[in-house]
Amino acid sequence: MSVKDSSGELILKYLKEDESKAFDLLFRKYFHKLFLFARKHLRDDHLAEDLLMDVILSFWEKREKLITIDNIDAFLYRSVKNKIADHYRKKVLLTEPIEEAISSLSACDSTDAYTQLKETRDAYLQGIGQLSEQRRRVFELRRHEHLSVSEVAERLDISPKTVENHMTAALNFLRQHLKKIGIASFFLFLLK
């Protein structure tokens, strides 16, 4: 039995006995290498750390169901890989700004679609105008200038968590704003 296998088996043993040592060992053994793996794919330390904490906490919360795992190493790497894939799936929906969609549609003959997208753009800009100055600045730096969370935090001298909170609040507000004024739900995917 290798050292690698023995620590995985030791974690499983501790999990079966429901000892708090299991969490400590799990964290010490896996956090750093899973963090490096996540950071390599995400290129954002804060995002990698948040994602990894979610994976480890999720594992810990479901530990009674996961006692039958044969290979904790493989399970955790697969969990991190799935979280990264989820992150990029969500991010893909955010990458086409309304301005780009309008310019691509303006080349088409579809006047109705162009008009509807222009109305959506106007409502979107109106919603952005209703955000507080700090929230609007965070939103614009993230979405229009495509800065990372850490870059926005550094530029505005705020914490990365504050950046994330501003983004969440701004997106929720904009979704509600567009729904309230009757923008077709098809366009709301741009704000997920």
Q: Provide the pLDDT for residue 24.
A: 75
Q: Provide the pLDDT for residue 175.
A: 80
Q: By the 8 A CB rule, do 95 and 62 touch?
A: no
Distance from C-alpha of 125 to C-alpha of 146, rounded to nearest angstrom? 17
Residue 145, SS3? coil
Buried b (16+ CB within 10 A) or exposed e, 19-49: eeebbebbeebbbeebbebbbeebebebbbb
- Rounded to whole angstroms, what are the CA distances from 85 to 79, 81, 88, 89, 168? 10, 6, 5, 6, 20
pLDDT (average), residues 116-138: 84
Local confidence band at 2 (pLDDT 50, 70, 90 cut-offs): very low
Task: Name the residue with higher pLDDT: 176 or 7.
Answer: 176
Tokens (6 digits) for 71: 């290979």
- Rounded to whole angstroms, what are the CA distances from 157 to 9, 54, 132? 45, 26, 17
Q: Give CATH 1.10.1740.10 domain extents, the chain.
A: 3-92
CATH architecture of 98-191: Orthogonal Bundle (1.10)
Tokens (6 digits) for 177: 């704003």
- Min mean pLDDT across 52-56, 92-96, 144-148, 167-171 is at 92-96
Instruction: Please give the CATH number for the structural domain made up of 3-92.
Output: 1.10.1740.10
Q: Report the predicted TM-score, pTM, of the whole model to 2 decimal places.
A: 0.45
Q: Give CATH 1.10.10.10 domain extents, the chain.
A: 98-191
Task: Name the residue with higher pLDDT: 134 or 171.
Answer: 134
